[in-house]
Structure 1
Amino acid sequence: MSNDTMVTLQGWLGGDPTGRDAGGVPVTHFRVGCTPRRFHRQREEWVDGETQWYTVNAWRTLAEHCLRSLRRGDPVVVHGRLTHRTYVNKANTEVLALEVEAITVGHDLTRGCSAFSRSPLRDRADGSATPEATAA
């Protein structure tokens, strides 16, 4: 069993996903904004907290599917490994960036409807075809 920190994000895509090739392996990344809402009892209303932004990286088949399926503004649910990295930005300030290596990504169906298209050759997590795909 691994000691990875697993997280589930519910938020909105801040821009269209971008894909690239990393040593022969497809990778897609996108930003997810998560804005917490809390009920303010004294004002008796819902208030938005500060939006937190996460970079999400998806690899291999998931990368290809994210690139084909997701668009800016889409509501998503992302589950994966939380990582962090530090870098120095243009203002010469050290920045801590939180990133998620996605294991699964989907549209948040509490926000709307989505249509699903099965990939005929890669239906299982191990990449093997399902009996329906091999019969077609």
Structure 2
Amino acid sequence: MNETMVTLQGWLGSDVTVRQAGDATVASFRVACTPRRYQKKTDEWVDAETQWYSVKAWRGLGANCERSLRRGDPVVVHGRLNAQTWTNSANIEVTSFEVEAILVGHDLARGVSQFTRTPGAGQRATGVGSDAAGPEGGLEEAAQEAAA
């Protein structure tokens, strides 16, 4: 399976909107990424043009995004980059890009965040969670042992 994975670091450009797609919750939001470049000639940092990305987060991740994220928050998004080509009203072929989020979080380089575990969030399809440490104990127990 060859998929293009991307990681975005930027700012939430809108509040999260949520809709139902069948039985699944899907959250949508926009992320603005403004690259900075150092210009040696002027000895200063300069902002490049802001790039906007549409992001979709499904099911529990989408619900958590709705509860956790607000416009203007610094975020990090990791997911699959999908291209969609369509023809607009002027009969011009347009390609738009959307990120299907796998992981979303606040950018802790820009502030602090408070984490609250949701019920049932310890197990995910990726194998991360309380069962990931095997039958001898979960990740929480391993973290507590390491802290002791």
Q: Please give the range of the TM-score, normalised by the shorter of the 2 chains.
A: 0.7 to 0.9
Which AA in structure 2 matches 1:50?
Answer: E
Match of 1:35 in 2: 34
Measure, in 2, the Cα distance between the counterparts of 1:54 and 1:36: 13
1:1-136 paired onto structure 2 within 5 Å: 2-126=1-125, 130=130
Which AA in structure 2 matches 1:32?
Answer: V
1:96 Cα deviation from its structure 2 partner: 1.4
Deviations 1:15-70 (A, max 9, x none): 00100000111000100011000000001100000111110110011010001110
Measure, in 1, the Cα distance between the counterparts of 2:117 and 2:90: 45
- TM-score normalized with structure 1 length: 0.88
Q: Give the 3 Å change call, closer, same or farther, for CA 90–12 of structure 1 in structure 2.
A: farther
Measure, in 2, the Cα distance between the counterparts of 1:23 and 1:17: 19
SS at match of 2:55: strand
Question: Which blocks of at least 5 consecutive residues in structure 2 are unaligned?
Answer: 131-137, 141-148
Q: What is the alpha-carbon root mean square deviation over aligned residues?
A: 2.0
- TM-score normalized with structure 2 length: 0.81
Which AA in structure 1 matches 2:45?
Answer: W
SS at match of 1:32: strand
Question: Which blocks of at least 5 consecutive residues in structure 1 are unaligned?
Answer: none
Measure, in 1, the Cα distance between the counterparts of 2:20 and 2:86: 22
Match of 2:144 in 1: none
1:92 Cα deviation from its structure 2 partner: 4.7
Instruction: Indicate the structure (1 or 2) with the bigger Cα radius of gyration.
Output: 2
Deviations 1:98-124 (A, max 9, x none): 111000000000000000111022222
The percent of aligned pairs where both chains have the same amino acid is 61
SS at match of 2:77: strand
4+ residue runs over 4 A deviation? 129-132
Measure, in 1, the Cα distance between the counterparts of 2:105 and 2:7: 11
